[in-house]
Each structure stands twice: as C-alpha cells, then as structure tokens.
C-alpha cells in the first residue's frame, strides 16, 4: 500500500544480464537464448495483467511433487528457478545490479506494511514455485520486510480478483492516494493512555472488488495490530505535549491547529499509521 517507482530495468534487460551470467552451463545458456522471444512475450503478458489488476488470471504451473514440467519451450520449472537462484541473485553475477536497484528503490521501507518493517531482500509477488517464468522479472520482484514475507505468504497466490494484494509497482493509484485506513482513539480513565484501533473504511465510490482487496491486504499483513503498536509508542509523548499546552492555558482548538494538524500533514502518505492516529486525536480534542 506504499507506491514504489516502477522498475527501471525491463524484463528483456534482466534476461540479457542473466544470460551473460550463465557460465559453465552451455546447454542451459542455449536453451534460454532460444526461448528469449517466448520469455519476453510472457513478461509482456504479466505487465498488461498487472496494470489491469488481473494477475490472478494468469494460470499457475501446478506440478505434482517430484515432477519438473516444461514451462516455456524446453525450459523446465527447475531451470527457470535456477536462473534466479544462480544467475540473478549471487553478488558476482551481472544481473545482481538489478536486484540491488530494486531493493534500494524501497528506501528501507517495506511497501506492504507501509514502512513499519525494513526490506532485507526481494520476494516474488507471484511465487516462483508456481510462476517460475517470472522468477527473474523485475516487475515481479518486490522488496518486503521479514514480517510481510511475501514469499511465504504468496505460496497461496490469488485466484480471484478480490484476493490480490496491492502491487506496489503497478496497482491503481486509488490505493495509494485515497484514504482507506482510519483509526479510532479509545480514551481510558484519567492519566491512563488510551489506545488506537485501526480499521478499513474504503471510499463509498469504490467497487466491491477493490474494497475487498484492501480489507484482505489489511488483514493478511496484520496492519491493524502493527499500526496500533506503532501509534501506542508515540502516544505518551503526544499526550504530554497536549497536557503541557493545556496547562499553559491553550484551548483545544489551538492545540489541534499547532500540534495535531501538522502531525496529519507530516505523515509520509495518506494510509500511514500516523495519519489515522493524528486524525483520531483531533476528533477527541473537538
């Protein structure tokens, strides 16, 4: 739910760098080179589906255990995954620069939880176990923090439109520019800090599929709990500031203008935990 700039490297560039890195395996190198047009065509299909929010419609490669089906021409599932593991990821391979650029594009903030966690590696938006033809496609490689762990989660990939997570590179701007995560501040007894309850409230004009998608994203990445914890950490400081200003004779309306409103405006993006937190404190001060 945090937008990342689309990868600057195309699938074809990634493929060329991978091929350049295949050393000591002439047979694989030749197979990949022959299949280049088909692999590129498949990646174009991915881009179109991602832009339309229809990645769920791409058929997975489902093989019985121990089987290694052909996926693109003579290239098998295990060969395609091997290209990623042995010729894309290792630091000494030319394709590694693409890996690094994709990871750095997140600027230490995981796009799935809105920056609560720091990505340490790339995960596959469509899992490579079921979509090996996209295992080294830049568009399918997303930085994710350990808690979001796309590779673990996406083993159960979406097969319906409403089950798709928000894709940080290509999904509709409504998910990034319109507010759908809100918070409520539950006041406790005097001198006891309250707590924040986060919930999904998509704009009424959205279609049902988009509404269900953000609900699923919020639930599956456990954002309600993770946001509440982050807000609780900051709450003590803010309550102190409010009480200091109140004791100095400042009215709630002014406190809201000088302390709370700037907090809303300084939140990094509209569905960030700070946005909902400060909005709900503003409601309490009114």
Positions that interact with Zn ion (CB under 5 A): 110, 112-113, 117, 145, 148
> Residue 186: phi, psi to the nearest 5?
-95, 110
Residue in 139, 113, 114, 117 with CA at minimum distance from that of residue 126: 139
Pick 112 or 125: Cβ nearer Zn ion: 112
CB–CB of 4/105 below 8 Å?
yes
**Torsion, CA 12, CA 18, CA 23, CA 27, rounded to 10:** -60
**Smaller CB separation from Zn ion, 4 or 145:** 145
Whose CA is closest to 134, among 244, 33, 49?
Answer: 49
3-state secondary structure of 279: helix
Beta strand segments in the chain, E: 70-72, 75-76, 121-124, 141-144, 181-186, 195-200
Task: Return the number of the residue (166 or 281) whose C-beta is nearest Zn ion.
Answer: 166
Smallest separation, CB 220 to Zn ion (Å)? 11
Helix 36-51, helix 26-34: angle, nearest 10: 60
Using alpha carbons, select from 102, 7, 5, 19 the residue that is nearest to residue 46. Answer: 7
Q: Tell me whether residue 113 or residue 281 sits nearer to Zn ion (CB atom).
A: 113
In the structure encoding, which two tokens stand for residue 238, read together? 């803010």
Shortest Cβ 5–Zn ion spacing (Å)? 18
CB of 118 to Zn ion, least distance (A): 8
**Shortest separation between residue 110's beta carbon and Zn ion, angstroms:** 3
**What are the C-alpha distances in Å from 176 to residues 4, 268, 281?**
10, 11, 23
Helix (H/G/I), strand (E/B), else coil: 196: strand
- Closest to Zn ion by CB, 112 vs 169, is 112
Nearer to Zn ion by Cβ, of 42 and 117: the residue is 117
Task: Give dist(CA 39, CA 135) in Å, integer.
Answer: 11
Cβ closest to Zn ion, residue 233 vs residue 265: 233
């Amino acid at each position: 739910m945090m937008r990342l700039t689309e990868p600057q490297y195309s699938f074809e560039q990634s493929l060329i760098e991978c091929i350049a890195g295949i050393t000591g395996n002439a047979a694989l190198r030749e197979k990949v080179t022959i299949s280049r047009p088909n692999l590129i065509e498949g990646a174009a299909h991915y881009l179109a589906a991602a832009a339309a929010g229809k990645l769920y419609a791409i058929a997975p490669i489902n093989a019985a255990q121990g089987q290694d089906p052909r996926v693109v021409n003579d290239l098998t599932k295990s060969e395609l995954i091997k290209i990623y593991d042995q010729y894309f990821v290792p630091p000494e391979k030319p394709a590694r620069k693409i890996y690094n650029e994709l990871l750095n594009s997140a600027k230490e903030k995981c796009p799935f939880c809105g920056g609560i966690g720091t990505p340490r590696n790339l995960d596959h938006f469509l899992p490579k176990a079921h979509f090996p033809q996209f295992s080294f496609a830049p568009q399918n490689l997303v930085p994710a923090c350990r808690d979001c762990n796309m590779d673990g989660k996406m083993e159960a990939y979406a097969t319906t439109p409403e089950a798709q997570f928000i894709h940080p590179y290509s999904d509709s701007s409504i998910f990034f520019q319109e507010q759908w995560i809100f918070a409520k501040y539950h006041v406790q007894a005097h001198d006891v800090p309250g707590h924040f309850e986060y919930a999904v409230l998509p704009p009424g004009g959205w279609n049902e599929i988009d509404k269900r998608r953000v609900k699923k994203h919020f639930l599956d990445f456990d954002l309600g709990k993770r946001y509440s914890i982050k807000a609780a950490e900051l709450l003590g400081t803010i309550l102190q500031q409010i009480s200091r200003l109140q004791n100095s004779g400042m009215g709630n309306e002014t406190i809201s203008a000088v302390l709370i409103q700037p907090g809303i405006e300084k939140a990094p993006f509209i569905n960030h935990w700070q946005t909902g937190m400060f909005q709900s404190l503003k409601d309490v001060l009114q």
